[in-house]
Chains A and B, each alone.
Chain A
Amino acid sequence: MNFRDTMLDEYKEILKTYINDQTEQALYMSQKFSRKSIEYKISPEEMISLHKTSIMELEPELSESLLLSLDILLEVMMSYGLAYREHQSLRTIQRELINEIEVAASMQQTLLGTQIPRIPSMDIGAISVPAKQMSGDYYHFVSHENGAISVAIADIIGKGIPAALCMSMIKYSMDSMPEDSQAPGDVLERLNRVVEQNVDPTMFITMFSGLYNPETHIFSYSSAGHEPGFFYHADTGVFDEMQAKGLLLGVDKKTKYKEYEQKVEVGDIILLMSDGVTECRTEEGFLEVDTLIGYIKKYIHLDAQDIADKVYKELEYLQDFQLRDDFTLIILKRTS
């Protein structure tokens, strides 16, 4: 039978039990009753009316003034009832929005997808995890016809949907980059013009662009205000910061980007990251560079992808599994 048909009897029973002896049991029953009445969309004003009807049937001798007071209570509850119903409908709308964002996030994953190149001399691994549903981090690989590999990592200052939309534009420009402009400085200069023309002036993008030549084993790179990467020298066991100067994308359309070069020996490792890695916060404050290097050292003997995955796991644990910023880490390890 429907709850609406039986609720008067149920409620009267609870009321009677409580009036006779004030047990916790009756109070517990009324809590259960209220859950059910919410489930069946009984409004607050209906509850007052139900209460009035019940008490009138149970206690016919009840004072008139007490019963009249319930009319005022019912009237006062009207606005609460409306607010409650509005809340219900807003919740439905919220659920729809969340669903839409989920669809958009999975579209973004497809749209921004990039293949990690496989070449004999270099082992490459990458991990990118968004803090919210939509990521403002982006990385991209290109395998050129001459065997060279381009790598780019970008971070939009700002998060969420606006950052994600902006990312799509960067991806599109990278894809339509001519094959002859592989030099990292040229790539940044082109993208800088695109961003400067098309993006809201309050939105900035940092980007690191690199090119590895498997013939000469030279890694050339340029940076547009991006988090510096690390270079690990296998022979000395030393980590160097790969400092590179350059203005953020989208500030000045005439910006030129200086190119730097680094010879990569067997066993050397290039680590590129977004600020979600270095600015990872713990209870004790920001992550120390030494702590990060410690984790990398711990896993340095593994494959590139395993290093990236393990370091992420460690930092995730360190932050109690709550990412505050999008996290991207790329590892390039020369194997032969």
Chain B
Amino acid sequence: MMDSSVKIINEWDIVAARQLGRNVAKELGFGTVDQARITTAISELARNIYLYAGQGEITIEKVENGAKKGMTIVSRDEGPGIPDLRKVMEDGFSTSGGLGAGLPGVKRLMDEFSIESTPGEGTLIQSVKWLR
């Protein structure tokens, strides 16, 4: 199992996280459209860390589930956390200000998505894309 992380501190780290994600996606055999979806999801998650948490980490893992193969993106930060998860998962909430696809966008780009957040402690987002 390969497993690697990128620390997100400044905007250039977003590019590094995207690059890591793209390499893994290519290696696994994802097509160009899915590669673009995966990297867009990584961008969104990394940007959220950069903009709202200050710093954190994006971890990319390959996963296997029986015959299914895929990759997991984990975003972890110790920032202020999200007080109202329902609100941020609502369509039109984060996008209205032109902030990007937001978390609902990430959820759409990936096959599986889960989020845990504790105000004052940080946020953990895990998402999976399966190879078809």
Residues of B within 8 A of A46 (CB): 33
Residues of A within 8 A of B101 (CB): 79, 82-83, 86
Determine if B31 and A49 form an interchain contact, defined as CB atoms under 8 angstroms apart: yes
Q: Among residues 4 to 55 in chain A, which have CB atoms less than 8 Å away from a CB atom of chain B? A: 43, 45-46, 49, 52
- Within 8 Å of chain A (Cβ to Cβ): is B26? no
Determine if B36 and A75 form an interchain contact, defined as CB atoms under 8 angstroms apart: yes
- Within 8 Å of chain B (Cβ to Cβ): is A111? no
Determine if B36 and A86 form an interchain contact, defined as CB atoms under 8 angstroms apart: no
Residues of A within 8 A of B92 (CB): 86, 90
Determine if A93 and B108 form an interchain contact, defined as CB atoms under 8 angstroms apart: no
Determine if A82 and B108 form an interchain contact, defined as CB atoms under 8 angstroms apart: yes
19 contacts across the A-B interface (CB closer than 8 A): A46-B33, A49-B32, A49-B33, A52-B32, A71-B32, A74-B33, A78-B37, A78-B40, A82-B40, A82-B101, A82-B109, A85-B105, A86-B91, A86-B92, A86-B105, A86-B108, A89-B104, A90-B91, A93-B91
- Within 8 Å of chain A (Cβ to Cβ): is B100? yes
Most buried by B among A45, A49, A78, A83: A78
How far is A86 from B103 in the complex, measured between Cα atoms in Å? 11
- Within 8 Å of chain A (Cβ to Cβ): is B95? yes
- CB within 8 Å of A: which residues of B? 31-33, 36-37, 40, 91-92, 95, 100-101, 104-105, 108-109
- The interface on chain A, measured as residues whose beta carbon lies within 8 A of the other chain's beta carbons, has a size of 17
Residues of B within 8 A of A93 (CB): 91
Residues of A within 8 A of B108 (CB): 82, 85-86
- CB within 8 Å of B: which residues of A? 43, 45-46, 49, 52, 71, 74-75, 78-79, 82-83, 85-86, 89-90, 93
- Shortest CB-to-CB span from B110 to chain A, Å, is 12
How far is A82 from B101 in the complex, measured between Cα atoms in Å? 6
User: Looking at chain A's contact residues, is the secondary structure mostly helix, strand, loop, or mixed?
Assistant: helix
Residues of A within 8 A of B37 (CB): 45, 78
Most buried by A among B31, B91, B92, B104: B91
User: Looking at chain B's contact residues, is the secondary structure mostly helix, strand, loop, or mixed?
Assistant: helix
Residues of B within 8 A of A89 (CB): 91, 104
Tell me the nearest residue of chain B to A93, going by C-beta: B91
Determine if B91 and A82 form an interchain contact, defined as CB atoms under 8 angstroms apart: no
Tell me the nearest residue of chain A to B104, going by C-beta: A86
How far is A93 from B91 in the complex, measured between Cα atoms in Å? 10
Determine if B95 and A83 form an interchain contact, defined as CB atoms under 8 angstroms apart: yes
B95 touches which of A45, A52, A75, A86 (Cβ 8 Å): A86
How far is A90 from B108 in the complex, measured between Cα atoms in Å? 14
Residues of B within 8 A of A83 (CB): 95, 101
Which 4 A-B residue pairings sit nearest by Cβ, starting from the closest? A82-B101, A82-B105, A49-B33, A78-B40
How far is A329 from B116 in the complex, measured between Cα atoms in Å? 58
Tell me the nearest residue of chain A to B92, going by C-beta: A90
Determine if B91 and A45 form an interchain contact, defined as CB atoms under 8 angstroms apart: no
Residues of B within 8 A of A74 (CB): 32-33, 36
Determine if B100 and A79 form an interchain contact, defined as CB atoms under 8 angstroms apart: yes
Determine if B33 and A45 form an interchain contact, defined as CB atoms under 8 angstroms apart: yes
Residues of A within 8 A of B36 (CB): 45, 74-75, 78
